[in-house]
Structure 1
Amino acid sequence: MVDEWYINMDWRDRIKKVVDDIEWIPEWGQDREHEWLDNMGDWMISKKRFWGLGITNLGI
């Protein structure tokens, strides 16, 4: 069994407010970003691999 790691996306509404403050070029980018945020679940930062668990380096 391989574990998967997720980041909880409870702060989605805060991200949407920031998206509205950005000047989007092209303009349809804002709608696309809102669609993505509306339809996304928790963010998976790992992926099952047969040799082990890969974890995204967030530079923290």
Structure 2
Amino acid sequence: MSLGEEKFSENASVMKLYLEVSHKLHEEKTPHQNITVYETEIFGRLMTLDGEPVLTS
């Protein structure tokens, strides 16, 4: 999968979130999880754990 095609989405009954990645900043595999940090065009940096987006408020 090329980076321009990397996308993440979250769906809930009251909200949908769709993030398109511009490029990968860092990727690391630990004994417990895979950590990847991406740059997005609109929201800045996005971290994923085992391929799932991590969101904070």
TM-score by length of 1: 0.29
Q: Greater relative contact order: 1 or 2 (C-alpha under 8 angstroms, separation 6 or more)?
A: 1
Greater percentage in strand? 2
Larger Rg: 1
